[in-house]
C-alpha cells in the first residue's frame, strides 16, 4: 500500500518504528506528516509523543525545527546585508515591524526573491515592479531603481569595483561622465575621494586648458590630483579655502595664487555688497577689509569710514551684524541699500530724516520693532537735548512720548520729573506733562496713579482729548467698560480720531491673557464697535493687525 509505505518511511526518518497500530489513520501518522510538512505541533501532540515514549522522535522533530529556524535567520541576515551593503534602500522600502500586523521578518521573506534577483544582476521590468508593489509591506521606486540599473551598467563599462555601493551623488557624477558633460570642482573632488582617479583621465584636455588659463605648471602626479579641483573652483569663480591657498603657496604656484586672490576679491565684493567697485587688481584696501569680515574679524573705525565714504552700507551692516541687532528677518543679500544706510545711522546715533521715516513707514519697517524703538530713542534724546538748550518744556512732553514708544517708560518718567516742581504755569503744558507721565505709569502697571494724573490733566486743560483717551483706555483695561465708553465719547467730542481709540483697544486685547476676560471684553466690543469685530477677534487669535480700519 502506498500509504503504508509513506507511513513506514516517516517512522524510519523520525525513529518511531516502535509504534504499532493496525489503523493506518492513527495519531503518529498525523503528527509525523505535520512535522514533515513543517507545521507546528500543538502542546497535546508533543505530550502524546512523550506518553508513547517516542523521545528520540521528539528530538529529531525539534532539531528540524531548530535547523529551519537557523536557515531562516541566515536568509534574514543575508537579506539585510544585501540591502545595506548595496544601498538598495535608495529604491527599496521594507515596512517596519508591526505595521499591517506582519513582522519585519515575514515582510523580508516576501521580498526575498526580489532582493536576490537584484543582487544577482537580474533586471526587473515594469511588470515585475508592479507585481512586487502589490505585496503588503514592499515598495520599489521604479525611477530610482532604473537609476540603480544605469549605475551598475556604468560601473561595468568603466571597470569600477563591482562591490561599489549605489550612491545617488556618485550616480549623478557618473552620468555626467557618460554624457560627456563638464565636471564641477565638487565632482572632481568626489572622484578623488571615491578613489576613481582613472576616470579623470577622460578630462585630460579640460585640465590642460585650466592649467594654461591659470598659469599652473604641473609638478608631478600627486600635484595634479590636488591642482585639478582647485583650478576648477577658480573657473567657477569660487573662493578657495585657506588650506587650498596654503597648498598653492607651498607648491610655489605664484601666478595661480595671484589669480585666485583676484577671484576671491570679486567673490567677496559680491558676497558683502561691495561690487560697485569693478577694480579687482591687488593689493586693494577693500580686499583687506572684506577678508576681515569673511573671517569674522572685527574691522576698525578707519575701515568703517572707508566703507561709509564709498556708500557701502550693506557691507557695514554685515560687518557690524546690524541686521541681527535690529531683527531684520530678510536675507542680507536681498536687503535694500537704503535700509542698510538707515540701520547704520541708527547704530551711530544719527537722527533719521523725513525721507528715511517715510521710506520705513511705506516699507512697513515701522511697527513696534527694534528699528522703531531705536528711532524713538534717538528722538527722545534729541528732545531732551533741545530742552537743555532752549528750556522749552514742550520738548520734555515730546521726549516722554518718544521714550514710551521706544519701550522705556522709566526714562519717560525720569524726563517728566520736572512736574515735581511747581514752576510750570502754562495749563496746557502742565496737562500735557501730566497726561504723558500718566501714560508712562500705565505702561508699568500703575493704573491707579495713571487715573489720578489723567484727572489732574483734565482739571488743568479740559479741551485736550488726550487725557480722556487715557482714561477710556484705563477703564477698558480694568474691566469698567461703561466708564471707558463715557471717557472715549468725551475724547471724540474734543476731536480724538477713531484711529487712536481703536489702537488703544487693540493694545489692551494684546495684553489680555485671561480667556474669560477676553470673551467678556469681546462681547462688549462686538456691541459697541460692530465694524471692527473681525479685527478684534484676529488680535485675540494672535494675528498681526494694523490699527487702521
Identify the residue whose cell numbers are 508699568.
444
Q: What pLDDT was estimated at residue 547?
A: 42
For the stretch 217-250, pLDDT in tens is 766 555 777 888 999 988 988 888 889 888 888 8
Domain ranges of the chain: 1-85, 182-271, 272-363
| CB-based contacts of 292, cutoff 8 Å, min separation 6 | 298, 299, 303, 319
Q: Is 255 left (phi over 0), alpha (psi -120 to 50) or beta?
A: alpha
Q: Per the omega criterion (within 30 degrees of 0), is the bond before 283 cis?
A: yes
Specify the DSSP class assigned to residue 125: -
Residue 356 has pLDDT above 80, yes or no: yes
Residue 59's nearest CA partner among 69, 49, 51, 68 is 49
Q: What pLDDT was estimated at residue 429?
A: 92
CA distance 157 to 375: 68
Q: What pLDDT was estimated at residue 333?
A: 65
Residue 549 has pLDDT above 60, yes or no: no
Q: What pLDDT was estimated at residue 136?
A: 67
| CB-based contacts of 49, cutoff 8 Å, min separation 6 | 31, 55, 57, 58
Residue 515 has pLDDT above 50, yes or no: yes
Average pLDDT, the chain: 87
Alpha helices in 424-531 (DSSP H): 427-443, 447-460, 466-477, 481-493, 498-511, 515-528
For the stretch 314-331, pLDDT in tens is 999 989 999 889 888 777
Q: Confidence band (pLDDT; 50, 70, 90) for 448?
A: very high
Amino acid at each position: 500500500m502506498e500509504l503504508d509505505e509513506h507511513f513506514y518511511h516517516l517512522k524510519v526518518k523520525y525513529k518511531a518504528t516502535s509504534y504499532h497500530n493496525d489503523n493506518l489513520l492513527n495519531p503518529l501518522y498525523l503528527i509525523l506528516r505535520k512535522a514533515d510538512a513543517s507545521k507546528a505541533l500543538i502542546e497535546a501532540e508533543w505530550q502524546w509523543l512523550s506518553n508513547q515514549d517516542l523521545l528520540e522522535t521528539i528530538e529529531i522533530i525539534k532539531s528540524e525545527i531548530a535547523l529551519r529556524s537557523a536557515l531562516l535567520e541566515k536568509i534574514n541576515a543575508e537579506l539585510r546585508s544585501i540591502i545595506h551593503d548595496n544601498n538598495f534602500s535608495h529604491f527599496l522600502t521594507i515596512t517596519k515591524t508591526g505595521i499591517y500586523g506582519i513582522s519585519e521578518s515575514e515582510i523580508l521573506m516576501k521580498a526575498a526573491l526580489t532582493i536576490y534577483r537584484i543582487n544577482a544582476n537580474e533586471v526587473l521590468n515594469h511588470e515585475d515592479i508592479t507585481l512586487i508593489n502589490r505585496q503588503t509591506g514592499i515598495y520599489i521606486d521604479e525611477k530610482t531603481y532604473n537609476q540603480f540599473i544605469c549605475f551598475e551598467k556604468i560601473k561595468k563599462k568603466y571597470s569600477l569595483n563591482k562591490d561599489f555601493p549605489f550612491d545617488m551623488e556618485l550616480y549623478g557624477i557618473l552620468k555626467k561622465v557618460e554624457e560627456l558633460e563638464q565636471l564641477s570642482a565638487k565632482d572632481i573632488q568626489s572622484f578623488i575621494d571615491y578613489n576613481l582617479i582613472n576616470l579623470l583621465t577622460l578630462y585630460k584636455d579640460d585640465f590642460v586648458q585650466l592649467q594654461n588659463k591659470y598659469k599652473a605648471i604641473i609638478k608631478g602626479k600627486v600635484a595634479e590630483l590636488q591642482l585639478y579641483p582647485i583650478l576648477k573652483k577658480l573657473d567657477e569663480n569660487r573662493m578657495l579655502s585657506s588650506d587650498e591657498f596654503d597648498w598653492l603657496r607651498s607648491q610655489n604656484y605664484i601666478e595661480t595664487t595671484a589669480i585666485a586672490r583676484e577671484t576671491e576679491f570679486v567673490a567677496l565684493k559680491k558676497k558683502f555688497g561691495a561690487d560697485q567697485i569693478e577694480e579687482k587688481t591687488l593689493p586693494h584696501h577693500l580686499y583687506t577689509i572684506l577678508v576681515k569680515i569673511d573671517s569674522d574679524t572685527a574691522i576698525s573705525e578707519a575701515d568703517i569710514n572707508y566703507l561709509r565714504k564709498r556708500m557701502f552700507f550693506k557691507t557695514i551692516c554685515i560687518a557690524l551684524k546690524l541686521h541681527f541687532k535690529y531683527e531684520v528677518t530678510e536675507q542680507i543679500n536681498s536687503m535694500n541699500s537704503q535700509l542698510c544706510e538707515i540701520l547704520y545711522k541708527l547704530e551711530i546715533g544719527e537722527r533719521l530724516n523725513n525721507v528715511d521715516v517715510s521710506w520705513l513707514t511705506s516699507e512697513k519697517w515701522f511697527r513696534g520693532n527694534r528699528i522703531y524703538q531705536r528711532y524713538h530713542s534717538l528722538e527722545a534724546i534729541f528732545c531732551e537735548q533741545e530742552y537743555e538748550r532752549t528750556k522749552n518744556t514742550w520738548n520734555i512732553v515730546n521726549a516722554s512720548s518718544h521714550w514710551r514708544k521706544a519701550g522705556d517708560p522709566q526714562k519717560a518718567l525720569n524726563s517728566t520729573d520736572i512736574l515735581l516742581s511747581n514752576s510750570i504755569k502754562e495749563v496746557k503744558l502742565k496737562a500735557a506733562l501730566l497726561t504723558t507721565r500718566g501714560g508712562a505709569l500705565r505702561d508699568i502697571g500703575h493704573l491707579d496713579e495713571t487715573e489720578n494724573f489723567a484727572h489732574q490733566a483734565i482739571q488743568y486743560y479740559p479741551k485736550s482729548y488726550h487725557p480722556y483717551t487715557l482714561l477710556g483706555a484705563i477703564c477698558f483695561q480694568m474691566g469698567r467698560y461703561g466708564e471707558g465708553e463715557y471717557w472715549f465719547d468725551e475724547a471724540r467730542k474734543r476731536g480724538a480720531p477713531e484711529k487712536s481709540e481703536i489702537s488703544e483697544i487693540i493694545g489692551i486685547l494684546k495684553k489680555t491673557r485671561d480667556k474669560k476676560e477676553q470673551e467678556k471684553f469681546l462681547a462688549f466690543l462686538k456691541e459697541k464697535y460692530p465694524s471692527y469685530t473681525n479685527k478684534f477677534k484676529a488680535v485675540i487669535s494672535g494675528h498681526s493687525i494694523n490699527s487702521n480700519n
